[in-house]
Structure 1
Amino acid sequence: MTFVQLIDCKTSRFDEMNRLMDTWVEQTRGKRTATHSVIGKDRSDASHFIEIVEFPSYEEAVRNSNLPETDRIFQEMVALCDETPTFTDLDVIRDEQLYEATIRRFFDTVATAGDLPPLNDLMVEHYHDHDPANEQDNLGLDAMRREIEMWRGGFDFSFTVDDQLAQGDRVCTRWTWNGTHTGDFMGIPPSGMTVTMTGTTVFRCQEDGKIAEGWWQYDRLGLMAQLGALDALES
């Protein structure tokens, strides 16, 4: 079970403490068992800091604490604090990856039959879209809606999320798109053909979870070949 430790301290010497933590990271390289560490500063008290440290398990946290380097750095850290720091030990019983959920909801929503929803609960108004198939980036939510409507006008389609990785504010999704060609697309009249393509999209999310920027890579050439659009070029 994932284990998280909260270290609550007050210090007017944070720069020194920050350098001390860099020293600890260097001295324990290859030995420490922490997988993630975040330090936050209290907006209402500039001397109040909370460090959130994640471990694969409580046992790994204990092993980390027993490192001689950890004990030495801890004593030096206490000396830099204005008062004795407090520790809260937490077993993680629920871990929601909110950004990933937002991205999955985006792919489901754009493929939903009927009118396209406003999308303003998923994307920011100043959304920036990078698509190598377009001469210019789509800037703004309205422009992105027009792009989505172009695809929806040409196909009844669905996305399958094949893989998803998140780091920081970025979510990378590898997907498969399946569609039926039911309307005009890029000047190609509807054929009723069933087509498919694969692609990868990296989205950047804001702190509120909304999508702010996207980078697309997909097999558009393969799609056009399936629709017969390349036949004239090959003849």
Structure 2
Amino acid sequence: MTFVQLIDCRTSRFDEMNRLMDQWVEQTKGKRTATHDIIGKDRSDAAHFIEIVEFPSYEEAMRNSNLPETDRIFQEMVALCDATPTFTDLDVVRDEQLYAANARRFFETIAAKGELPPLNDLLVEDYHDHDPSNDPDVIGMDAFRRACGEWRGAFDFAFTIEDQMAQGDRVCTRWTFKGTHVGDFFGIPASAREVSMTGATIHRCVPDGKIAEGWWQYDRLGLMAQLGALDALEQ
């Protein structure tokens, strides 16, 4: 279970504390077990700081605490504080990355059976789609709906989400596409062939969670080979 430690402290010497944290990062390379570290400053009190440190588990946090570098840096950090820091230990019981959740819903929605559902709760009106198969880029929700319609008319398909990583306003999704060729696809008539391909999409989200931009990379050549489009070239 993911474990988070909150460190609440007051200091008028944050610049020195910041340099101290840089030293800890440098000195514990390959040994520290913390996976994420955030320091926030109280907007109403410039001397009040809260550090949030994430670990894979409580046990890993304890292993990190027992590093001699951690103990030494902690003692120096306390010396920079106006009072002894307070600690709150938390087991994470829910961790929902909302941008990532919207990206997953995006793939579920464009592959949904039947008529394509509305996209206004997922995309901004001037959504910008960067797809190597489209020149120029597709810009606008309506244009993207038409582009989706071409794929949905050609394949009965679904996405499997293999991996997702979120950072800031970007979400990267690695996916597998599997489908049946049921309609014309760039001049290739329906063949009923089962096809699959892998790819990755990076989405840029805006503060309300909607997706504003998307960049696609996928194995289109492999897909065309599965459809027999390259057979004549190989002869």
With the shorter chain as reference, the TM-score category is 0.7 to 0.9
Structure 2: distance between partners of 1:17 and 1:141? 47
Cα deviation, residue 95, structure 1: 2.9
Structure 1: distance between partners of 2:47 and 2:208? 26
Cα deviation, residue 208, structure 1: 4.5
Cα deviation, residue 109, structure 1: 0.8
Structure 2: distance between partners of 1:36 and 1:96? 15
Partner of 2:84: 84
In angstroms, what is the RMSD of aligned CA positions?
2.7
Partner of 2:147: 147
Task: Check whether the contact 2:127–2:213 (CA below 8 A) recurs between aligned residues.
Answer: yes
Task: Check whether the contact 1:4–1:53 (CA below 8 A) recurs between aligned residues.
Answer: yes
One-letter amino acid of the counterpart of residue 165, structure 1:
Q
Q: 1:215 to 1:28 in 2, by over 3 A?
A: same
* Matched position secondary structure for 1:147: helix
1:60-209 equivalences in 2 (<5 Å): 60-161=60-161, 163-168=162-167, 169-182=170-183, 184-189=184-189, 191=190, 193-206=192-205, 208-209=208-209
Cα deviation, residue 150, structure 1: 2.0
Task: Check whether the contact 1:2–1:56 (CA below 8 A) recurs between aligned residues.
Answer: yes
Q: 1:174 to 1:76 in 2, by over 3 A?
A: same
Task: Check whether the contact 2:159–2:175 (CA below 8 A) recurs between aligned residues.
Answer: no
Q: TM-score, normalised by structure 2?
A: 0.82
Structure 1: distance between partners of 2:175 and 2:113? 22
Structure 1: distance between partners of 2:129 and 2:159? 18
Q: Would you say how many aligned residue pairs link Structure 1 and Structure 2?
A: 232
Structure 2: distance between partners of 1:148 and 1:116? 8
Q: Which runs of 5+ in 2 are unaligned?
A: none
Q: Percent identity?
A: 69
